[in-house]
């Protein structure tokens, strides 16, 4: 999303002068002069725009949004692709899930994508849940077809998987979800899902709600 009203106005002025699309005009302005951390936005604002609190980010990565933004700006990330930004983030040793969270949050802060939107224009939503079961049992509820059908009432195909770590599930509508699995202790584990290629914000919101319902049923099943 645009970081403030001034940036939005500048983008529209450029569009009138150049005939560029909103996305192109915004990117060109950001390339010329990235908005500085000292432009009136606090760390709380960064967390709001990114969709992830400073406290959660610092606990997981050791850094606040302010520090990540300064670091990525210095590396010229505002001019780079999503993959290239993620590569920069990963060099700091962040787990794969948090590498994506930092990358997407930075792109939102810098106006490179709307909340839930991918750089290519499609939309993505995410949902996570911690369950009071061992990691292997949680993963098994996804991997075993009969068990999965008991809580996930959708036509999906497992296209790739790494036991107890990761799984890719393809929907028959062309969307897909990546599930990451994490041990939180001997008898507690978490799954974090990113659902990609959604048609728009409405579809993304609906899928986020659907995953909440899926997890509710899964919790009843594995508890």
Report d(CA 118, CA 202) in Å as an integer.
Answer: 14
* DSSP 8-state class, residue 78: G
Judged against a pLDDT cut of 50, whether residue 9 lies above it is answered with yes
The verdict on 159 and 128 lying in the same domain is: yes
Report d(CA 98, CA 56) in Å as an integer.
Answer: 11
Q: Which one of 49, 76, 109 terminates a domain?
A: 109
Q: Total domain count for the chain?
A: 2
Question: CA 54, 56, 62 angle in degrees (round to 5)?
Answer: 80
Per-residue model confidence as pLDDT tens digits over 44-100: 578 888 888 888 899 999 999 999 999 999 999 988 888 899 999 999 998 888 998
Q: Are the C-beta atoms of residues 106 and 68 closer than 8 Å to each other? A: yes
The verdict on 91 and 154 lying in the same domain is: no
pLDDT bucket at 1, cuts 50 / 70 / 90: very low
Q: What is this structure's pTM?
A: 0.54
Range from 6-10, 22-26, 164-168, 206-210 carrying the lowest mean pLDDT: 6-10
Report d(CA 194, CA 176) in Å as an integer.
Answer: 8
Question: CA 168, 174, 176 angle in degrees (round to 5)?
Answer: 25
The verdict on 86 and 134 lying in the same domain is: no
What CATH number is associated with residue 208?
3.30.530.20
The verdict on 129 and 96 lying in the same domain is: no
Q: Which domain holds residue 71?
A: 5-109
Judged against a pLDDT cut of 80, whether residue 105 lies above it is answered with yes
DSSP letter string, 201-213: HHHHHHHHHHHHH
The verdict on 166 and 83 lying in the same domain is: no
The verdict on 165 and 130 lying in the same domain is: yes
Per-residue model confidence as pLDDT tens digits over 159-217: 999 999 999 999 999 999 999 999 999 999 999 999 998 988 889 899 999 999 999 99
Q: Are the C-beta atoms of residues 66 and 43 closer than 8 Å to each other? A: yes
């Amino acid at each position: 999303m645009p970081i403030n009203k001034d940036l939005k106005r500048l983008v529209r002025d450029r569009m009138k002068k150049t005939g560029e699309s909103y996305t192109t005009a915004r990117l060109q302005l950001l390339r010329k002069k990235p908005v500085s951390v000292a432009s009136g936005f606090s760390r709380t604002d960064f967390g709001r725009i990114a969709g992830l609190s400073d406290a959660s980010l610092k606990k997981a990565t050791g850094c606040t949004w302010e520090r990540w933004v300064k670091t990525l700006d210095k590396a010229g990330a505002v001019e780079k692709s999503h993959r290239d930004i993620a590569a920069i983030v990963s060099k700091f040793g962040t787990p794969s899930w948090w590498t994506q969270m930092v990358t997407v949050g930075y792109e939102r802060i810098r106006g490179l994508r709307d909340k839930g939107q991918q750089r290519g224009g499609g939309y993505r939503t995410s949902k996570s849940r911690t369950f009071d079961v061992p990691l292997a049992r949680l993963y098994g509820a996804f991997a075993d077809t009969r068990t999965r059908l008991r809580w996930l009432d959708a036509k999906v195909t497992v296209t790739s998987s790494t036991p107890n770590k990761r799984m890719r599930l393809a929907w028959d509508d062309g969307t897909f979800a990546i599930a990451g699995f994490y041990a939180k202790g001997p008898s507690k584990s978490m799954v974090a899902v990113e659902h990609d290629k959604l048609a728009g914000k409405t579809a993304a919101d609906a899928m986020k709600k659907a995953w909440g319902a899926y997890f509710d049923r899964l919790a009843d099943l594995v508890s």
